[in-house]
């Protein structure tokens, strides 16, 4: 029973951290986009590119998490 509880707690920690990692990915992408906009003065395009990269990184992390949980 102890091993089942440890496995369940690991899975809960994995799923619990998923939301934060998705939010941070998008936030970091948008922040980098804002910095590029200020640096190169290309107002909407830096934010859009950063947002796109942040969303792509979030999806990549979700797929990595699905594969990792599927292996166990």
Q: Which two tokens stand for residue 71?
A: 């292996």
Q: What is the largest CA-CA distance in the chain?
A: 60
Distance CA 28, CA 67 (A): 24
Q: Which two tokens stand for residue 26?
A: 């998008």
In total, the chain counts a number of residues equal to: 72
Q: What's the total number of domains in the chain?
A: 1
pLDDT given at position 1: 64
Q: How confident is the model over 4-18, as pLDDT tens digits?
A: 888 888 888 888 888
Q: How confident is the model over 17-32, as pLDDT tens digits?
A: 888 999 999 999 999 9
Which structural domain range is residue 44 located in?
1-70
Q: What is the pTM of this model?
A: 0.81
Classify residue 42 as left (phi > 0), alpha (psi -120 to 50) or beta: beta
């Amino acid at each position: 029973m102890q091993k089942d509880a440890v496995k369940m707690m690991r899975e809960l920690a994995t799923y619990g951290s998923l939301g934060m990692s998705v939010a941070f990915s998008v936030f970091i992408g948008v922040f980098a986009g804002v910095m590029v906009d200020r640096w190169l003065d290309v107002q909407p395009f830096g934010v859009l590119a950063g947002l796109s990269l942040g969303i792509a990184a979030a999806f990549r992390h979700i797929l990595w998490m699905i594969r990792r949980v599927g292996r166990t």
